[in-house]
Structure 1
Amino acid sequence: MTLTPFADEATALCIAGLTIENRLDRVSMFGSIDLTRDRAGLRQARELRALLDAVVTTLEREGPSLPEAVAVGQRIDTVKNPFD
């Protein structure tokens, strides 16, 4: 695993069809994954478990200083069109 949870705004990785994106205030996962009953499925399950273990460890380390909730949503800034 090459993603340190909550460490930057640029790291992303894929586990099969699941994409994981790192942010400073969240780790986003989207897509789908089939954990098949074979060696490939075992490898993918272990990768996913390692990622989630790292997320839980990071959050537990911060413990009581964690906010109750982080506002998640897209902020859209409107700027004047420079070509008008």
Structure 2
Amino acid sequence: MSHFKPYANESDVIRIGNLEIENRIDRLTLTGDVVLTRDKAGLALARQLQALLGEAVGALEADGELPEKVLLKPVSQVKNPF
């Protein structure tokens, strides 16, 4: 996960369990799920999730021009070209 820098680009995607994290310059999108079982595997996933959230919080806190709220454009569907 060390290559994943929250809010750095519009292309990176990582997975933690079945949780997919998409990077965007104005948001992170988390979809799916992650099961944190009470075992070493669950602990490893929890640590990955904690590290990711820590990096996201750090990036947000370091932004001196953080707006009150980002306005997200509604998702639009395009006709399938195939």
TM-align CA RMSD = 1.6
Provide the C-alpha distance between the structure 2 equivalents of 1:40 and 1:73, rounded to a whole number of angstroms. Answer: 38
Give the structure 1 partner of residue 55 of structure 2.
54
% of aligned pairs identical? Answer: 44
TM-score by length of 1: 0.83
Structure 1's unaligned 5+ residue stretches are: 79-84
Provide the C-alpha distance between the structure 1 equivalents of 2:25 and 2:72, rounded to a whole number of angstroms. Answer: 12
AA aligned opposite 1:74 = P
Structure 2's unaligned 5+ residue stretches are: none
TM-score by length of 2: 0.85
| SS of the residue 1:14 aligns to | strand
Considering fraction of residues, name the structure with more helix. 1
Q: What is the CA-CA distance between 1:76 and the residue it aligns to? A: 3.3
How many residue pairs match? The answer is 77
Give the structure 2 partner of residue 42 of structure 1.
43
